[in-house]
Structure 1
Amino acid sequence: MKNILLATLFLFSTGMADSVLLVKKGWQLIGSATPLNDMSKFQKERVEQVWHFDADTQQWLGYSPDAQTQSKMDSKGISKLTKLENWHGFWVKSKKEWRLTLPSTTLSKTPAQENSANDIIQLKKGWNLISLPVDAVLSADIFKDMTVWKYNPNREWEIFDQGENSVEDFPKLAHIKNSDGLWVKANKDTNLSVMKEAQKLHNFETSQEMKAYIKSTLEIYQRPVCGFEPMFLTRGGVVNDAIPTTAPTPLPVAPTVMADATLEGDERGAKNTSDTNLQERGVDEADIVKHNGTNIFYTKREHQNNHINITNFKELAKGNSKPINQITLGKNQYLNALYLVDDRLVVLSNLNSYARDEIKEVEGQEILGHATQQIVVDIFDVSDVMKIKKISSHKIDGNMVTSRVVGENLYLVSNFSPNYKIEYPKEYVTLSETCKEYFNPKEGEDTPPPYPVDVMNSSSSEQTPPPPKVTPLRKSQPYNPNRYAECYSLNKERETERYYRYDYENPIVKIIDLLPNIEGSNLAKQTLIEPDKLYTSSKQDQNSNITTISTIDIFDGSYELSNSFMGYSSTQYASSKALYLVSNQYPIYYDFNNYKERSSIYKFNLDDELSYRGIGSVYGHTLNQFSLSEHKDILRIATTEGFSWGGRGTKNSIYTLKEESGLLPIQGVLSGLGKEGEMIKSVRFMGDRGYVVTFRQTDPLYTIDMSDPKSPKKMGELKVNGYSAYLHPIGENKLLGIGRDASSNGQVQGVKIELFDISDFAHPSSLDSIILARDTSSELENNHKALAYRESDHLFAFPYREQGDHTNDYKTKNYLGVYQIKDDGLLTYQPIKSSVNNWGESRGLIFDMNKTTYISFFANGEVVTEKLEER
């Protein structure tokens, strides 16, 4: 590094690590996120002078560890600098390179009230010498209309000024670390909350500005935050997954007919059928089985041969499991899910390929180029299932996150990670006496840890040097990590035996793919993201992933538009009016001072503009899409802070938020659901009511009154063994829970079905339960679409697996359990068994034909249909 390197030291304890600021010889403008209550860190043999500008008085404060120099300052009327706040910037003139060791901050379970404003910078009208009071890298946008100057590590000035008097002779201020000192000119006295400003989103005016920001973000994210080697091999960069090398074959223009069928549509129709289990009425979700009351489309996945099989209800009722037609996807095209909207079949799949121009042959073997992941959206006209026509096909760079269909529009959420290569120049150094001692310890000295691992050369045949041979100490001495702070960033070249560190300030970056593209049948290849449609925060030490929502018109097959934000979405929820994307990767631990996990919620309207509406934040992480619900323009969200196995306990809460002026401020909160260590296992919001299940040893079901968004209230509680992983409403007075049984000490057992009475909202009760074998589990625990439910007679079915034992080579058996709610009890029918023994998705389908009820079990292309026995 050229001038400053912030390094976190290894501590062989459970406490937090100290950090070190490497300071070079000469003048530097720096800062520290840790307050310095005295000037003892600036010792005479290292430092000549330290200066800070007091914005209150607009006067300089000075300090020197040399008594004579300090006396000169005093004689000139310069007030003595005695301490530095965590947001103070300061000039320091050093005699030599040295290391400023900063103490760690002890993080409490519940942050003290007095620590809640540690991110505040107190700015006065005029010039201020400040630094960031938080451990983060931010863009200068947080300063809005102020003028900001930074003296960078290359000893050059950079400027941020959005006003008319912007200075063009200096480079634009790229980013700000907490080790940077800044000159800020404010137009008025103001207190700036760094956390509040950093979470606000902004877009870009030009493509050049957008690309520069993304490039800067990926450079910052890849470099070690605290001076360690970059996590290049584990946190991104060029994808090197092992994928078949053959190029994808073109998709078929028309499907291959598997059989000659002449049945008329009216003859094939069924009555009283179950459909895809949806969270919100009017918001369709992709599934592996779709039907229109006559024809059924279902997926069959093989390694490189994926198909959509087609049948009809009459064929199933006859026991014929052979498809009447089939659509075959291209090679390396991996089938994801389907939509069926009137006579349009939407097929979502993933396509993996390699850059052909980068494939090389070395010693008879192909060395692959960088991998490319794409989402393929194919739309077919299936008005005549024997003469299927492809309407359109689109390819979008990235990975599929989720999708929804509302009306005639497909809303596709994708995630794209830029492809790039990054290297760091070596900066050779001469070992100080301390580092000589560190690398070559003598008998009786502190024993240093082994040589640092050179991860930058980990791909070569060079091995990490062995640790030095050390004679055992005569007397045990405690290891002092601060003593060798300056040595931890150094590596040793085996060939030359020279020592060096990597220059992270000047990375060598090769961009392969910075932005995702889209191309289609009638759409030339173009960038998916536009500058004014990409929203990002000012926090730049985050993953450079880009999450995008794209709209495609299902009936004419045309791509409409996209909207994006920089970050990763962990949970997605859609109402009929809006799409909410939750991210707990960025900003994970956004409360910088207390390292409390927070989730950010981004709201996009499902309108013609796909408009971005605002962002909100809550503490904790969500479980799944059912953790969110929109009702009367109020967003309800349930979260858990912490983990049951963590030492800091857990906290379960429900927040209510409402859109206001580009933000989603919190309206109300209910906390304290569950006991210490319990986590949310399932959530269901229905109108003005909410239901939450927490679990560690028992299953408390909580009933929540949500009628007043500003004051949600816990109304009732019921404790039973085990937990419900999915909750399904049965009319207004019953609730079906499906999850796992558990012993009295919390050991999880087999699948459990429980029927709850919620007619007395303050006193929920259990009406009946069914417990399956101990070694059973169900896809329904993690995927609500695995439930087939028919409201007319409360008949339901879901797949479950039974793990084998030594008597059958531990093979898994797949079943479709069939049950019915009758009066206040649960009825069990004979399960349907599948010969497919893999762990893929499977579905049930309930339908009537000729006054007979049938149940079909779909498991990766296999279909088993049986009549429902009389009960």
Structure 2
Amino acid sequence: MKKPILTGLLVVAMAAALTPPGNQPPLQVHAAASEEGSDIQIRLNGQPFRDDRNPLLVEGVTLVPLRNIAEALGAEVKWDETTQSVLLRKDTSEIVLTVGSADAVKNGQPIRLEAAPRLSGDITMVPLRFIGESFDTLVTWNDATRTVSIDPLQALPTVGSYDNLKALLEKTQVVSGSTSDLRLFRENSSTAVMEKSETSNAISQSDSVAAAPAAPAEAKAKQSESGEYSQTNTQVEGVDEADVVKTDGTYMYQVNRGRVIITKAFPSNEMKVESVVDFDGQSFRPSELYVDDKHMIVIGTTNRNVNNPAAEPMPAPVEAPGGVMIKIAPVLPSSSVTKAVVYDITDKSAPKKQRELELDGNYVSSRKIGDAVYLITNKNARYSFLAKPATGVATEDEAKKHAPSYRDTAVSDEWKAIDYGEIRYFPDSPEANYMLIGGFNLSRPGQAMDVSAYLGSGQNVFASENNLYAAVSKTEPIRIMPAEIRHDSAAPATPGPDARIQGWVEPPAYERKTVVYKFRLEQGKTKFVTQGDAPGAVLNQFSMDEHNGIFRIATTKGDMWRTDENTSKNNLYTLDEALKPLGKIEGIAPGERIYSVRFMGNRAYMVTFKNTDPLFALDLTNPANPTVLGALKIPGFSDYLHPYDENHLIGFGKETVEVPVKGVKNPNPATMVYVQGMKLSLFDVTDVSNPVEKHKEVIGSRGTDSELLRNHKALLYSKETNLLAFPVTVYESTDSAADGFTTGSGKFSFQGAYVYRLDLQSGFDRKASITHISEEEKKKAGNGWYGSDRNVERILYIGDTLYTLSKGMIKANDLSTFVEKDSLTLP
């Protein structure tokens, strides 16, 4: 056989990147058919790239010749005639592709291509994006010119040295606080507020409006010897998130009062505590964990001294009453640390610690994709200390002391300071804060943790299987109140031309934007790709999504309390793979803010609220021109939206009642909104121009609450079994008011799990209310309940058994009848 001419390897599934308006594949082809992409132009590093073979379009995926592009990117290409395979090498990366197979191997790890390589005559054709991502390039698509651009990843400048760090921070006019960093506020300078990081939620994506959305991970139960078992309700299928409870179908692993308890859960009549991993004598405080077939990864926080205690001078003894001389140890500055401990759980009765990994800074979030685990932290740069007058050139020890550091016992028990030449910063927004990303691969226990440090921050994190996005809000003034002007209570209700003289002035206005940093994920390593921004601030992870290479982000801009042009408005933006703007919808629901967002393929659903709950359906079929399809206004609001199918979604939030304020007359009567009980809604969006609340359930009265409203991982949902369950604390109204609403919290009546069957015909059918609280404890509660070790935190199922977990107990109920079968008191 003649040796194929291999030209160009750049794996980029262009089902997303090569999509014309309408987000449809550039050419509609059948499974075995292909079409010439002769009108597709390729630019490599800014220059036109020509090859002997035009691209092919197969099922919307662009295939390009292999050898020439790969070699232009610096890769070595070798063809094996016997196995019909291609070996590509560049730096430390090695990839093996086989003609006719979508399964490839990179650095010994299996990967899946968007399409199988194929021979076109004697030329090997391969999917475009994969090689681009594998060899540090960014591939983008310009629909107007039908051009694919292959460019190097964005390069960020390095801090370089400790002195350069101090100079950078001086320029940003940053002052340091104990929990946040705030730039000095001046009329002609920018301001940026570091917000407290929060663990938040994001959403899964789907293939198209016509097809059902990609099922969230919890909807696809895993299989074990015990049968199917539920998983954590995660953001994106294939991207695991840490939680307080995990199961492998036989055992449960629970973060419990500073320990991890491993319980044999199935069968329920054999429930017992298998082992307790205790951290007594350590400052480590576990918060959540991951579990796979071989490993348990416990994540939490600890502290470490910034200075060497031996180097600190001991204060002189102090005379105490009675003439006793005492010594007071110096107060040593400490730094918050995020820690992950990896255990071998082959023997559940005796987990074996394999490795400890520590990153400076407060825990922001983490993800586990296959064997790869990623940790994201924020560390204060201690600017207040750095800004002290210098007494000369900083010593090496001083520089190391203030550098972000990490520890990985797979390499050394010692802490390692990150060299300033390896710390990068974002030129438009350096901050007195470091964002650290640490990645490690469980299948390579001897490989050191990959750590990247950036002078910046991350607040909300969205991750797909290939990319991680860290978003942070920035605040800048657009109008400043002069210091000499004060608001006068005698000022007119409406400002006139002489308002300044009368003492009236509009309050200062600020403009917020969200900066997004994109990182490529690869088997435990991360690479910075690019950055972009969008006006306004995101609510949480649900505000972000990636679909077919397009990044979508929903924001709120302005303030709800304002009545001028700077009142709040809600928006949705689409950005391409380089995070450059594509399309937008702005000005949705003025005067309100976003309460929840859900992306489902080529649609998005947004809930805003001030007095009523508008549910907006948005069409994202054409990323360059998203549109509003329809809206539904009903009382209440949804804090969390969850897909039911392509035409229905479930809302979890609160019911509200809007009543007029007495004494205020028309034509503009004032109203007051009272939040009532927890509300479940099933929305029908079959007719997207006219969404309908098909079914509704209100739980309790004012004061009723659920962790689910703040943390999506508290939800158990399985469409296959119509099972819906979540923890809830219920308050019942004691009011007998004829108007049917309450203005104060009712009386505590229940804490535990509410379990429903849900279908389109019957709606929400509550089948069980499972509590761990005894009647005696309930009587002691009186009107209020402030929590105990018997508060149900999570619900899951294994086989035919439903389990509810609190810190003090595990209960097992039959999944069909919900009759209690067994229980176990936890130590």
What TM-score does the superposition give when structure 1 sets the normalisation length?
A: 0.57
**In structure 2, which of residues 586, 593, 596 is the aligned counterpart of residue 679 of structure 1?**
593
The 1:376–1:205 alpha-carbon spacing in structure 2 relative to 1, beyond 3 Å, is closer
Q: Which residue number in structure 2 is paired with residue 343 of structure 1? A: 294
SS of the counterpart of 2:261? strand
Q: Which residue number in structure 2 is paired with residue 538 of structure 1? A: 427
Aligned partner letter, 1:310: I
**In structure 1, which of residues 797, 820, 845 is the aligned counterpart of residue 757 of structure 2?**
820
Q: Which residue number in structure 2 is paired with residue 300 of structure 1? A: 256
SS of the counterpart of 2:522? coil
Aligned partner letter, 2:284: Q
Contact 2:617–2:630 (Cα < 8 Å) also in 1: yes
Aligned partner letter, 2:558: G
Report how far residue 328 of structure 1 moved: 1.1
Contact 1:352–1:374 (Cα < 8 Å) also in 2: yes
Q: CA RMSD in A?
A: 3.8
The 1:360–1:704 alpha-carbon spacing in structure 2 relative to 1, beyond 3 Å, is farther
Report how far residue 235 of structure 1 moved: 9.5
Whether 1:577 and 2:462 are equivalent positions in the alignment is: no
Contact 2:158–2:425 (Cα < 8 Å) also in 1: no
SS of the counterpart of 1:404? strand
Contact 2:403–2:420 (Cα < 8 Å) also in 1: no
Query: Alpha-carbon deviations, 1:460-514, whole Å to 9, x = none?
Result: xxxxxxxxxxxxxxxxxxxxxxxxxxxxxxxxxxxxxxxxxxx999999987842
> Structure 1, unaligned stretches of length 5 or more?
1-199, 229-233, 237-266, 426-502
SS of the counterpart of 1:221? strand
Q: Which residue number in structure 1 is paired with residue 322 of structure 2? A: none
Report how far residue 867 of structure 1 moved: 2.7
Q: Which residue number in structure 2 is paired with residue 26 of structure 1? A: none
For residues 348-747 of structure 1, what are the structure 2 equivalents within 5 Å?
A: 348-354=299-305, 356-357=309-310, 358=312, 363=318, 364=326, 366-419=329-382, 422=385, 513-524=401-412, 525=414, 527=416, 529-531=418-420, 533-539=422-428, 543-557=431-445, 558-584=447-473, 587-589=474-476, 595-607=510-522, 610-647=526-563, 648-660=566-578, 664-674=579-589, 676-745=590-659, 746-747=673-674
Whether 1:333 and 2:275 are equivalent positions in the alignment is: no
Query: Alpha-carbon deviations, 1:31-67, whole Å to 9, x = none?
Result: xxxxxxxxxxxxxxxxxxxxxxxxxxxxxxxxxxxxx
SS of the counterpart of 2:228? coil
The 1:217–1:408 alpha-carbon spacing in structure 2 relative to 1, beyond 3 Å, is farther
The 1:767–1:504 alpha-carbon spacing in structure 2 relative to 1, beyond 3 Å, is farther
Whether 1:285 and 2:241 are equivalent positions in the alignment is: yes
Counterpart CA distance in 2 for 1:227 and 1:533 is 32
Contact 1:347–1:379 (Cα < 8 Å) also in 2: yes
Report how far residue 526 of structure 1 moved: 5.0
Contact 2:704–2:730 (Cα < 8 Å) also in 1: yes
Counterpart CA distance in 2 for 1:809 and 1:711 is 48
Q: Which residue number in structure 2 is paired with residue 314 of structure 1? A: 266
Aligned partner letter, 2:801: Y
Counterpart CA distance in 2 for 1:747 and 1:561 is 50
Contact 2:400–2:417 (Cα < 8 Å) also in 1: no
SS of the counterpart of 2:570? strand
For residues 748-763 of structure 1, what are the structure 2 equivalents within 5 Å?
A: 748-763=675-690
Report how far residue 845 of structure 1 moved: 3.0
For residues 198-213 of structure 1, what are the structure 2 equivalents within 5 Å?
A: 202-204=156-158, 206-207=160-161, 211-213=165-167
Counterpart CA distance in 2 for 1:677 and 1:592 is 19
SS of the counterpart of 2:476? coil
Q: Which residue number in structure 2 is paired with residue 105 of structure 1? A: none
Query: Alpha-carbon deviations, 1:172-202, whole Å to 9, x = none?
Result: xxxxxxxxxxxxxxxxxxxxxxxxxxxx983
Aligned partner letter, 1:784: H
Counterpart CA distance in 2 for 1:398 and 1:822 is 45
Report how far residue 866 of structure 1 moved: 2.5
The 1:423–1:375 alpha-carbon spacing in structure 2 relative to 1, beyond 3 Å, is closer
The 1:590–1:869 alpha-carbon spacing in structure 2 relative to 1, beyond 3 Å, is same
The 1:423–1:410 alpha-carbon spacing in structure 2 relative to 1, beyond 3 Å, is closer
Aligned partner letter, 1:400: Y
Aligned partner letter, 1:272: E
Query: Alpha-carbon deviations, 1:658-685, whole Å to 9, x = none?
Result: 133xxx21100011222x3211000010
Report how far residue 269 of structure 1 moved: 4.5
Q: Which residue number in structure 2 is paired with residue 832 of structure 1? A: 770
For residues 100-111 of structure 1, what are the structure 2 equivalents within 5 Å?
A: none
Q: Which residue number in structure 2 is paired with residue 273 of structure 1? A: 229
For residues 36-47 of structure 1, what are the structure 2 equivalents within 5 Å?
A: none
The number of residues matched between the two structures is 545
Counterpart CA distance in 2 for 1:219 and 1:838 is 44
Report how far residue 759 of structure 1 moved: 1.9
What TM-score does the superposition give when structure 2 sets the normalisation length?
A: 0.60
Report how far residue 531 of structure 1 moved: 4.6
The 1:864–1:622 alpha-carbon spacing in structure 2 relative to 1, beyond 3 Å, is same
SS of the counterpart of 2:588? coil
Counterpart CA distance in 2 for 1:681 and 1:389 is 44
Contact 1:812–1:838 (Cα < 8 Å) also in 2: no
Counterpart CA distance in 2 for 1:727 and 1:855 is 24
Counterpart CA distance in 2 for 1:572 and 1:327 is 29
The 1:804–1:729 alpha-carbon spacing in structure 2 relative to 1, beyond 3 Å, is closer
The 1:219–1:763 alpha-carbon spacing in structure 2 relative to 1, beyond 3 Å, is closer
SS of the counterpart of 1:838? coil
SS of the counterpart of 1:589? strand
Q: Which residue number in structure 1 is paired with residue 26 of structure 2? A: none
The 1:567–1:795 alpha-carbon spacing in structure 2 relative to 1, beyond 3 Å, is same
Report how far residue 834 of structure 1 moved: 2.9
Report how far residue 855 of structure 1 moved: 2.3
Report how far residue 768 of structure 1 moved: 0.9
Report how far residue 743 of structure 1 moved: 0.6
Aligned partner letter, 1:311: T
Counterpart CA distance in 2 for 1:507 and 1:743 is 65
Q: Which residue number in structure 2 is paired with residue 858 of structure 1? A: 805
Aligned partner letter, 2:287: N
Report how far residue 816 of structure 1 moved: 1.2
> Structure 2, unaligned stretches of length 5 or more?
1-153, 177-181, 188-192, 196-222, 319-325, 481-508, 660-672, 736-744, 778-785, 819-827
Report how far residue 538 of structure 1 moved: 3.4
Q: Percent identity?
A: 26
